[in-house]
Structure 1
Amino acid sequence: MMGSGGGETIVDVGAAAEAVSGEGEASAFLYATESLCMRCGENGTTRFLATRIPHFREIVLMAFECPHCNERNNEVQFAGAIQPRGCRYTLTVPSGDAKVLNRQVVKSESASIKVLCIVF
């Protein structure tokens, strides 16, 4: 997907989190460390990946996986500075096209989402 500004690619956070938590390419993550599994008490692995979302800010994706109980957890934390200008996005969905609402949204702590009218 392309951004509306300077043609920058927008990061698919869901796919990036799956790449970090998967068994795939070892060079995909920035850092990995052993961590305590809150489910079984054994050690698992937490992988970290830093990435930038254009016109938003830098984020750190964290993916935990326990080989003992198969617990998995993905988390997004914000890093870096907030962009100097805010934006407003308005989404109008045509009637009968509810699948357009099936989206993953990454927002900062200070952002808000308002749904003014929804009818199915």
Structure 2
Amino acid sequence: MALLAMTLTACSTSSLRIITNTQPEPSGMEALLVASLESGDDGCVFARTAGGIVALVWPAGYSVSGDPDSFTVHDSEGVPVASSGVDVSIGGGSIGGLNDDWSNKDCGADDLWVVGQISTPAGEQ
């Protein structure tokens, strides 16, 4: 019975991953990235822009839930901030590399974006 409970718990855990930094606040940078969120075969969530793939670096405490086809990113208080399938405007800025103490660094790409304020079209998330 205990083995069955562990198996069911494991199935409900999201295999999706996001890069998070050590800062709890969104970036103060004010550049704008317009993109849609997608996930790769490795479970890494990224932004797809007209120019290609951008790895997003989220603030500490942010998380992702759902499955590869339909997922939501939540802030540190569990509030949804962005979802797959919806274009998002992501404030922040591009950076040159990943820090050693950030989570899921293997989700990095050539283009990295530190996430700031996020907005979606009215009524969508």
| TM-score (norm. length: structure 2) | 0.23
User: Which is richer in strand?
Assistant: 2
Higher relative contact order (CA 8 A, sep 6+): 2
| TM-score (norm. length: structure 1) | 0.24
